[in-house]
Amino acid sequence: MLFTVDIGNTTVAIAGLEGERVAFVKKLPSDPGLNWPAALRQLLEGVEAQGAVLSSVVPALTGPVGEGLKAITGKPVLVVDKTTPTGLDLSGYDTANLGMDRVVDCVAALAMYTTPVAVFDMGTATTLSVVDRGGLFRGGMILPGLALGLEALSARAAQLPPITLSQPEGLLGTDTVSCMKYGALYGAAGAIEGIVRRLEEELGGLTVVLTGGNSTLVRPLLGIPTAWEPHLTFLGLGEIWKGNN
């Protein structure tokens, strides 16, 4: 088994990868104050792994989580950064502030789907990453995530309450809460459809892949064909591990 770790802005997600199968996913909050060696040992108690690989968009957590995983596995952790060979051609992109989670997603998508491919990762932020027919990372977009957009509405408008997202029961809301919910969900779906239409005009045929926690809510609302892979980042980390071991 391989520990594959995605350190995000909200959660640190750890998946146990057995070949191409995700055996489990466990999560901890992205809390810099956590005693990470102790927390990880408790979370992964009784699970043996041959090693660990991680990607991170929270630099302050990369070291503590990596050291905790090293203590558990007894082996150095492969931290995917800009120097790590991934097989993805980044020559046309300024990588100074590129989140490695986007790279990892694209590595998995290239292994699983035909190009050109567009990956929408719907988490705290919604990121779009595009790889063209020749395997070149063309770039993408970063949009506010669904929860972030709703939090901004609630914070800046006195009469708009905090809400919890769930699957819509129709197209039009009939009260303030449902109007906010439907606006966020159908707005995200409309944005994806519009972006994909423009990408197809530029790149030709396109494989659209959705991943991330909010993708389960948005995908049923889309009027375009998509692939859905909830474990895309973990699978990409597994591919990178294989390429470096």
Q: Can you give the CATH number for the domain in which 25 is found?
A: 3.30.420.40
For residues 147 and 203, state if they share a domain.
yes
Percent of the chain surpassing pLDDT 70: 97
Residue 75 is part of which domain span?
2-79
Strands ordered across the beta sheet of 2-7: 21-29, 11-18, 2-7, 51-56, 78-79
Mean pLDDT score, 208-233: 95
For residues 106 and 196, state if they share a domain.
yes
Is 121 labelled a binding residue? yes
Pairing of strands 207-211, 227-228: parallel
31, 81, 89, 101: which is the annotated catalytic residue? Answer: 101
Check if the beta carbon of residue 100 is closer than 8 Å to that of residue 129: no
For residues 19 and 113, state if they share a domain.
no
For residues 75 and 111, state if they share a domain.
no
For residues 65 and 116, state if they share a domain.
no
Mean pLDDT score, 215-240: 96
Whether 122 has a pLDDT exceeding 80, the answer reads yes
Number of residues that this document lists for the chain: 245
Domain count across the chain? 2
Check if the beta carbon of residue 169 is closer than 8 Å to that of residue 122: no
Decide if 101 is catalytic. Answer: yes
Is 105 labelled a binding residue? no
Q: Is residue 50 part of a domain?
A: yes
* Mean per-residue pLDDT over the chain, rounded: 92
pLDDT of residue 139: 95
For residues 8 and 119, state if they share a domain.
no
Is 10 labelled a binding residue? yes
For residues 177 and 62, state if they share a domain.
no
Check if the beta carbon of residue 37 is closer than 8 Å to that of residue 67: yes
Check if the beta carbon of residue 15 is closer than 8 Å to that of residue 24: yes
For residues 143 and 204, state if they share a domain.
yes
Whether 160 has a pLDDT exceeding 90, the answer reads no
The phi and psi torsions of 23 (rounded to 5 degrees) equal -80, -35
For residues 170 and 110, state if they share a domain.
yes
The phi and psi torsions of 134 (rounded to 5 degrees) equal -90, 5
Is 16 labelled a binding residue? no
For residues 20 and 104, state if they share a domain.
no
